[in-house]
Amino acid sequence: MAEVLVYVDHVDGAVRKPTLELLTLARRIGEPVAVALGAGAENTAAALAEHGAVKVLTADAPEFAEYLVVPKVDALQAAYDAVSPAAVLVPSSAEGKEIAARLAVRIGSGIITDAVDLEVGDEGPVATQSAFAASFTTKSRVSKGTPVITVKPNSAAVEAAPAAGAVEALPVTFSALATGTKVTSRTPRESTGRPELTEAAIVVSGGRGVNGAENFGIIEALADSLGAAVGASRAAVDAGWYPHSNQVGQTGKSVSPQLYIANGISGAIQHRAGMQTSKTIVAVNKDAEAPIFDLVDYGVVGDLFQVVPQLTEEVNSRKG
């Protein structure tokens, strides 16, 4: 069976959810061979094996931490040369897309970015992408070289599929370019204790209807009662009420959680583009004609300042 390279996104050995989703998609195409780099790479093996990796190629060197993406591209290319895979799958983060694009150029292959699904076609993997603010989906395949495909978070379920996950050291020779761009400092983002927006199973968002930074506390309280991430519309972000890193939509992040709760958000096309693939959508809006209600599974016509605290109280009371 053909092997499929999966680039692993991890933090000190803790594998991030989008990589586990990639393993689900990789198993449709062939046998997943994971490539884990940097500090803690070997500690990723158990989680990767549990989700279908037949092999885990690991490499660690100071270059991975001290320089930007080129050392990682060198390593992924070394894995590519060693395995001759049927496809290379990479998570669609900013870094993942840069690594994938550089690899595709080096190996002379076509690339598809931001896929939301993958299936097996007669002539190789067929990727689904969402286009024009999610008004259309397109299907495409790479027609030259080995397909390099980046996949957005929440595009597939995480499935248990135990496999050998044998760890093998990957020998890497760094290219002359590897040390061209040095990391000079890192500032960890202050932790809110909430899940990462693009990976969260539940997202609670606030829009212009929240009417001020100080009122976002009620959105956060509902999010915390549900163990959810907090999102915001661009109107709320542009007003300075919430950080841009939490913006959902065309010029923000795309989310596809099990549950999305939109509060005081009208449902503009650019906002929908980032959340309309959510499994269940709930909206609270005082205007019964708001376009968001065309999209929802459950809608509450009401003042969010009354509805949201009641909802939070109800959720908390059910937790006993």
Between 59 and 219, CB nearer to ligand FAD: 219
Residue 284 binding ligand FAD, by CB under 6 A: yes
Residue 208 binding ligand FAD, by CB under 6 A: yes
What lies within 8 Å, CB to CB, of 186 at 6+ separation is: none
Query: Exposed e or buried b for every residue in 254-268, given b needs 16+ CB within 10 A?
Result: bbbbebbbbbbbbbb
In the shown chain, the binding pattern of residues 214 to 253 toward ligand FAD, with x for contact by CB under 6 A and - for none, equals -------------------xxxx----------xxxxxx-
Q: How far apart are CA 140 and CA 117, in angstroms?
A: 11
Between 55 and 271, CB nearer to ligand FAD: 271
Six token digits for residue 29: 């195409």
Residue 90 binding ligand FAD, by CB under 6 A: no
Scanning 19-27, 85-93, 217-225, 299-307 for contacts with ligand FAD by CB under 6 A, the matching segment is 299-307
Residue 216: which H helix or E strand, with range?
helix 216-226
Between 111 and 237, CB nearer to ligand FAD: 237
Query: Exposed e or buried b for every residue in 227-241, given b needs 16+ CB within 10 A?
Result: ebbbbbbbbbbebeb
Between 24 and 312, CB nearer to ligand FAD: 312
Residue 272 binding ligand FAD, by CB under 6 A: no
CA nearest neighbour of 141 among 164, 162, 120:
120
Which amino acid appears at position 275 of this protein? M
Between 163 and 273, CB nearer to ligand FAD: 273
Contact call for residues 26 and 136 (beta carbons, < 8 A): no
Residue 149 binding ligand FAD, by CB under 6 A: no
Residue 299 binding ligand FAD, by CB under 6 A: no
Q: Residues in the site for ligand FAD, rule: CB under 6 A?
A: 207-209, 233-236, 247-252, 264-266, 268, 270-271, 274, 284-287, 290, 303-305
